[in-house]
Structure 1
Amino acid sequence: MVKLPENLIKARFLIRPNRFTVVAERGGQHLTAFLADPGRLAELLLPGTELYLAPAQAGEKRKTVYDVVLLHRNGTFISLDSRLPNRLFAAAFRSGGLGAFQGYRQLTAEVRVGSSRLDFLLTVGGEKEAGLPGEGLPPCYVEVKSVTLVNSDRVALFPDAPTSRGSRHLQELMALRDRGCRAAVVFIIQREDALIFAPNEATDPLFARTLREAAAAGVEVYAYRCRISPVAARLSTAVPVKLA
């Protein structure tokens, strides 16, 4: 579980002047807020949609005095912070809540691989004692992707905008797999209403094709939906991944 800021305020979305800025309205006052999600979000950021904003930390030097944290639409809370999935993955790993990665005990963030940085490296770590769970496991590299788009059929889709960076990360994972490492990409769906996950073929056919190639090469593909509230966020359950 990851706690969210305690002092959230409600506001109504007005416009998005650029990828990282939104203007919202509260009590007749216009509030400018930082948006930590560069995706299109066209199906979410609609005029009048309810946003939850957090005041910036005291002492920070910045142009905006708020951060966009959540969106509430059709009874569903959706996180709009693309940094949150990494924190959710790390919290679930440390609590032992990720069955796919049992046996690993050490997590290292932001690992340089080739020309990229991958989100996590999982290793056995600790004392190597006979019979210790995880003994003999290869290092496991993990890339985490944030998902906010869910269509009317309740299929979570990634990406919602073309991402050459995402395809490059998959290529790096395939290269690591060829070297005998374990490699995985984990899609964190920052909402609870998704039933399955699939690559967004229509938006980024290159990423979809590369994801299928990666899976065929032994890169593990997982997707988890989240339970989001104005108080906290946590990984909920795994959802099936549909690559075809």
Structure 2
Amino acid sequence: MIYADTAEARFIDRPNRFIAHVELDGRTETVHVKNTGRCRELLLPNIPVVLEKSDNPNRKTKYDLIAVRKKKLGWINIDSQAPNKVVKEWLTKQDFDVVIPEYSYGDSRIDFYMEKGNRKYLLEVKGCTLEIGGTGYFPDAPTVRGVKHIRELMKAQKQGFWCGIAFVIQMNGIDEVLPNTETHPEFGEALSQAKQAGVHVLNLTCSVDKNSLEITSPIRIT
């Protein structure tokens, strides 16, 4: 996926999880942060960031903050909507007969339902932006919703679905994601139980630039 209208700026602060102040062309601009996670290790004073200009003239904020530059790693995409978009692109290249986003299953809405022949698939997508010591971690904040989705996938697996959790690694040079048990132990426990139940865990590596994100992983779902 490619962002059409972007600009570089410098991060100032983040008053709450929805907005940030940045320095753009010598002025302070209030922008929308497209990630409600903590991102504490990324959004540091004076760090380079990338903004996408909104095409809605009636919005209160003209820009979305979509990427942050981190030493040694380069640009990290923090757009929480991007993982589902690139996974949809990725799935269209894998010969599925049906790909349906936002599929209702049980008490949850799973990111993708697919069919190939007589086989049915459910895939939940998680974006990873947290890197520690060369490894990706998820989540960077507690996610009750994430645990709920894992439980639903375990039920579906027992009912004959192929079920998977795809971690989209929104940074260059990282190829593994581990559960951030320090931040959310329950997520780590649920992920471990899911693996034992046969749920597939996919680490999707990406090519990230300041205005683009593309899955480069050789993994194919069969």
Say yes or no: does 1:219 pair with 2:199: yes
CA contact (8 A) 2:122 2:161 kept: yes
Q: Summarize deviations over 1:180-216 as a string: whole Å, max 9, x none.
A: 1111110001001214221111111100000000110
- What does residue 196 of structure 1 align with? 176
CA contact (8 A) 1:78 1:148 kept: yes
Match of 1:123 among 115, 118, 121: 115
Q: Summarize deviations over 1:139-161 as a string: whole Å, max 9, x none.
A: 10000001100112x11000001
- What does residue 80 of structure 1 align with? 78
- What does residue 100 of structure 1 align with? none
SS of the aligned residue for 2:110 comes to strand
Offset of 1:238 from its aligned partner? 6.1
SS of the aligned residue for 1:122 comes to strand
Between the aligned partners of 1:69 and 1:200, the Cα distance in structure 2 is 23
Q: CA 1:51–1:151 in structure 2 vs 1: closer, same or farther (change >3 Å)?
A: same
Q: Summarize deviations over 1:203-231 as a string: whole Å, max 9, x none.
A: 11100000000110011111112111134
Q: CA 1:174–1:203 in structure 2 vs 1: closer, same or farther (change >3 Å)?
A: same
Instruction: Give the residue type in structure 2 aligned to 1:95.
Output: K
CA contact (8 A) 1:223 1:238 kept: no
SS of the aligned residue for 2:86 comes to helix
> Where in structure 1 are there 5+ consecutive unaligned residues?
97-102, 125-134, 240-244
- What does residue 108 of structure 1 align with? 100
Instruction: Give the residue type in structure 1 aligned to 2:162.
Output: R
CA contact (8 A) 1:222 1:238 kept: no
- What does residue 67 of structure 1 align with? 64
Instruction: Give the residue type in structure 1 aligned to 2:88.
Output: A
RMSD across aligned positions (CA): 1.5
Between the aligned partners of 1:94 and 1:157, the Cα distance in structure 2 is 27
SS of the aligned residue for 1:17 comes to coil
- What does residue 235 of structure 1 align with? 215
> Where in structure 2 are there 5+ consecutive unaligned residues?
none
Overall identity of the aligned pairs, in %: 31
Between the aligned partners of 2:27 and 2:140, the Cα distance in structure 1 is 31
CA contact (8 A) 1:201 1:208 kept: yes
- What does residue 3 of structure 1 align with? 2
Between the aligned partners of 1:36 and 1:231, the Cα distance in structure 2 is 14
- What does residue 34 of structure 1 align with? 32
Instruction: Give the residue type in structure 1 aligned to 2:103.
Output: V
Between the aligned partners of 1:64 and 1:159, the Cα distance in structure 2 is 27
CA contact (8 A) 2:14 2:20 kept: yes
Instruction: Give the residue type in structure 2 aligned to 1:106.
Output: V
- What does residue 18 of structure 1 align with? 16
Count of aligned pairs: 218
The two structures have a TM-score, normalised by structure 1, of 0.85
The two structures have a TM-score, normalised by structure 2, of 0.93
Instruction: Give the residue type in structure 2 aligned to 1:143.
Output: E
Offset of 1:105 from its aligned partner? 2.7
